Structure 1
């Protein structure tokens, strides 16, 4: 889902011990003896604003969905430029063809009518037809929504679409090209998340408060058919259909709902048996069996409708999400990040096939966040992190079962907050894999920021709750003790979005949005001071009227600086608990980095410098058009006079001086 600009990573810089406001304006030609981590003021040789292009920030081929046509699997990617449909030939075990999808940042939705593949994109929501005989790719319809979450084809050749943020359902007629708006599946709900259709009825799974709606195709009349004992769940998140049954994944207690279509009162609710399972990500009905995949374990299950027997068939890849299950020729195919697993029903064996090795095209993806430890730059994306070795210029990929949303480097180790499940991972450069350190739990989903408190040896990580849930959390991980403490709520009925730590106090910037799909309760983003020793909020204030969230926070010489979603930069005296000054730095907020005696920020299109003495704002570089997935990021180079960000989808190094520029 579309997310606002957010802070993901910061390498804090140790400041000069003198009072900032007692310092004279530094001379541009002076060779100062004042130093900060990785930066000797006056010794930076490249002019500020010099750009070095380091190539694509992160390469990926993450698939969003797939369909079978004959012996070929058609897989559509998400978050790439451009996105493609890759054709995996099951007989030859090779990816043989690619079709480009010109618009949209990705695709979750696919369906087939005969030999035609339909693909639904997001941002924008366009519907494409891929003629698999001629190879023609045609945009056949466009919709005024953010996401096409899923598609279904009816037996008589209509396509049905489920959307967010509107929660609408629509029909597309390939014969006439006409579309029909069937309205919101459930009033007040933003997500028509899963969908199926037969000769008479459209079935729609809804969230972020679970509903199952049957829509009469002829009249458009709607009726609720979710079993009463599932009221209060989050999503009917996935759906498969046969001539007789529906099989659906119910979030967030790891339940499978199997329902007879002709008699919705005849249903079975099956709890996934692996401890801690929360989600059923996909299912397929094959005869009398329902095969389904769970998270966070990554387990693969079989449920027999007649006997009621549930089996765990294995774990193709621990904790990995399975995007789609398909049945063909006595085998079940499971689509994951850059791979497909194959379960042979006759032998009970499972094979894991790497699609990259079989020719699935990779392309630059939208980066999510980035970090430099001085020797490497880490760029996170879907299913892992691209690692750029600054010494050799070589790149490698660290696989992860999710999307790192926040990273920090501490004593040669990289710590990552991973979506979904709000997981904390640790990674030692050069290791083959990362280590799962902790699970936040508490209905939390998205890490929003992470910083390190050196005085206490603590990682401080705020998180946003799952869709439909209230109250974000603040997680504090003691690295030496390997102990996680979670505090929820911290700021009542808000998410903690950004954080900086100074002298044992974590300063927290809030976001009015709790879990997505839940209407905000609070009216004003706030700044709170959280005592890390006492583990309580000391005070809070609202720094900027009208702010929806505080995109980032930093500290310098006893002052707290932040930037809001609407581009207002502010300075706070935490002793007097007052906002001292504000300045408009742009129209949007993004990451902030303290470098030397200056503060740098970005809105994705430009990198600017703020003089903390005068609050003068100077543009360092412009015209970047950074293709971030969920907001503009900026990372410090702790070993030199530079910052890292992206231009379009390329990683760039920007030379900076660390000295404020002053007009007088």
Structure 2
């Protein structure tokens, strides 16, 4: 409530977010203005304007003209904005990058205060997506992506708004799936610049969950959940051409795409269901170039897919209930099932290294025998500090994941 008016902001689903102002003395008198963003939040006002935050920055609503325009100022990218206030002609904007920007709205200048430098207590974030390649390991976080040099050990924190849920290194460049509704972001260490958005997708497809590089079609594949609409999507992106595509609900109207892997130009999608009712754990083979379904298998699981991996003709699937199923992609039949709840329950991730499928859960790093599918613990009690499910990646035959808040490198050589 501001100066006798109710100010309302929405979060966008299929449509962009909206900004509204209602006169509390006359409820029939109100203005609704669409925005270019997905979220309208954090209000502040002066005599002439009402300010609000979105993922595009700070915007200003003119009380006289009833129009919205971006707030222009000389200063840094604000990233995800967590708070806005106004006093004496200046806006105080709290950035998810860990600083406060004091913006003079008349002079269009700013003064930035780093919260850590100012004495705020800082600690390690829980990790998100992990990727490795060309001598670097990247770990996603909130508002930041940590880059570690495997040669020197140097750690550099990069800025990217939102959360890097998963990532791949493709020809030396990092590509991430960014929550919330941030699409795909790209970072090239040779350019010496911060990450930037490479592809934008409909805002309702807001939560990327899993990434996979398809070398046959030269496409980055991203499995996505829609928080607002239900279901999900498969995103594809070509680093060579910059073209992208989004295939909505490739499994069904209820299942999000929890996991995506590929082999020989075919993408395999694993379904999960955020609701308590409806189908789950369906596996669908898709042509990622056209988005057309090739076949599907229902492995008859009570819980959704947590992770997929493909090795040879075997497609491995882990469920959030700690069940393993293996599908022969040639015969399209389930050839093996097992209870692996001793090493994995809840969210998980899998990767192939040296012809062997490895998995990681919140507690354990483990591997599967390539013929018998028997599970062997590699590191017990790894207990990675993950924010939205564990991850594991591989580079030059070595595995990378988290133990507590620490990045670890594991060299495992099973005698198969």
User: Which residue is equivalent to 1:545?
Assistant: 301
CA distance in 2, matches of 1:469, 1:377: 34
User: Which residue is equivalent to 2:396?
Assistant: 639
1:615 aligned residue (346, 353, 373): 373
CA distance in 1, matches of 2:203, 2:67: 31
CA-CA distance at 1:597 after TM superposition:
3.4
User: Which residue is equivalent to 2:283?
Assistant: 527
CA-CA distance at 1:572 after TM superposition:
0.4
User: Which residue is equivalent to 1:395?
Assistant: 155
SS in 2 for 1:545: coil
User: Which residue is equivalent to 1:255?
Assistant: 18
Q: Which segments of 5 or more consecutive residues in structure 1 lack a partner in the other structure?
A: 1-240, 514-518
User: Which residue is equivalent to 1:650?
Assistant: 406
CA distance in 2, matches of 1:309, 1:572: 56
CA offset digits 1:356-392 (Å, max 9, x no partner): 4434332111111212216221111011211111221
CA offset digits 1:104-162 (Å, max 9, x no partner): xxxxxxxxxxxxxxxxxxxxxxxxxxxxxxxxxxxxxxxxxxxxxxxxxxxxxxxxxxx
SS in 1 for 2:10: strand
Q: Given the alignment of the two structures, is residue 474 of structure 1 paired with residue 234 of structure 2, yes or no?
A: yes
CA-CA distance at 1:349 after TM superposition:
3.3
Any residues of structure 2 matched to 1:216-255 within 5 Å, and which?
241-242=1-2, 244-252=4-12, 253-255=16-18
User: Which residue is equivalent to 1:497?
Assistant: 258
- Are the counterparts in 2 of residues 247 and 284 from structure 1 also a CA contact under 8 Å? no
Q: Given the alignment of the two structures, is residue 421 of structure 1 paired with residue 181 of structure 2, yes or no?
A: yes
CA-CA distance at 1:405 after TM superposition:
1.0
For the structure 1 residues 535 and 311, does the alpha-carbon distance in structure 2 shift closer, same or farther, using more than 3 Å as the test?
closer
For the structure 1 residues 433 and 307, does the alpha-carbon distance in structure 2 shift closer, same or farther, using more than 3 Å as the test?
closer
Alignment RMSD (CA, Å): 2.2
Q: Which segments of 5 or more consecutive residues in structure 2 lack a partner in the other structure?
A: none
CA offset digits 1:65-117 (Å, max 9, x no partner): xxxxxxxxxxxxxxxxxxxxxxxxxxxxxxxxxxxxxxxxxxxxxxxxxxxxx
2:81 aligned residue (322, 330, 339): 322
CA distance in 2, matches of 1:521, 1:317: 46
- TM (normalized to structure 1)? 0.58
User: Which residue is equivalent to 1:557?
Assistant: 312
Any residues of structure 2 matched to 1:267-286 within 5 Å, and which?
267-272=30-35, 276-286=36-46
- Are the counterparts in 1 of residues 220 and 238 from structure 2 also a CA contact under 8 Å? yes
CA distance in 2, matches of 1:570, 1:416: 28
SS in 2 for 1:323: strand
User: Which residue is equivalent to 1:440?
Assistant: 201
For the structure 1 residues 544 and 620, does the alpha-carbon distance in structure 2 shift closer, same or farther, using more than 3 Å as the test?
farther
CA-CA distance at 1:397 after TM superposition:
0.8
CA distance in 2, matches of 1:576, 1:647: 39
CA-CA distance at 1:598 after TM superposition:
2.3
CA distance in 1, matches of 2:231, 2:346: 25
CA-CA distance at 1:508 after TM superposition:
0.5
* Structure ranking higher on relative contact order (CA contacts 8 Å, 6+ apart): 1
2:211 aligned residue (450, 454, 457): 450
- Are the counterparts in 2 of residues 247 and 285 from structure 1 also a CA contact under 8 Å? no
For the structure 1 residues 331 and 593, does the alpha-carbon distance in structure 2 shift closer, same or farther, using more than 3 Å as the test?
same
Any residues of structure 2 matched to 1:32-47 within 5 Å, and which?
none
CA distance in 1, matches of 2:116, 2:140: 18
CA-CA distance at 1:451 after TM superposition:
0.9
CA distance in 1, matches of 2:60, 2:83: 15
CA-CA distance at 1:557 after TM superposition:
1.3
Structure number with larger C-alpha Rg: 1
- Are the counterparts in 2 of residues 422 and 447 from structure 1 also a CA contact under 8 Å? no
User: Which residue is equivalent to 1:126?
Assistant: none
CA-CA distance at 1:306 after TM superposition:
5.3
Any residues of structure 2 matched to 1:60-459 within 5 Å, and which?
241-242=1-2, 244-252=4-12, 253-272=16-35, 276-287=36-47, 289-295=49-55, 297-298=56-57, 300-305=58-63, 308=66, 310-314=68-72, 317-318=76-77, 320-337=79-96, 338-373=98-133, 375-430=135-190, 431-441=192-202, 443-459=204-220
Aligned length: 406
CA offset digits 1:4-36 (Å, max 9, x no partner): xxxxxxxxxxxxxxxxxxxxxxxxxxxxxxxxx
CA-CA distance at 1:308 after TM superposition:
3.2
User: Which residue is equivalent to 1:581?
Assistant: 336
SS in 2 for 1:444: coil
CA offset digits 1:423-468 (Å, max 9, x no partner): 1122112422223211122621011111111111111112111x32
CA-CA distance at 1:521 after TM superposition:
5.8
- Are the counterparts in 1 of residues 38 and 181 from structure 2 also a CA contact under 8 Å? no
- TM (normalized to structure 2)? 0.90
For the structure 1 residues 435 and 288, does the alpha-carbon distance in structure 2 shift closer, same or farther, using more than 3 Å as the test?
closer
CA-CA distance at 1:301 after TM superposition:
2.5
CA distance in 1, matches of 2:402, 2:69: 46
For the structure 1 residues 280 and 545, does the alpha-carbon distance in structure 2 shift closer, same or farther, using more than 3 Å as the test?
same
Any residues of structure 2 matched to 1:498-517 within 5 Å, and which?
498-513=259-274
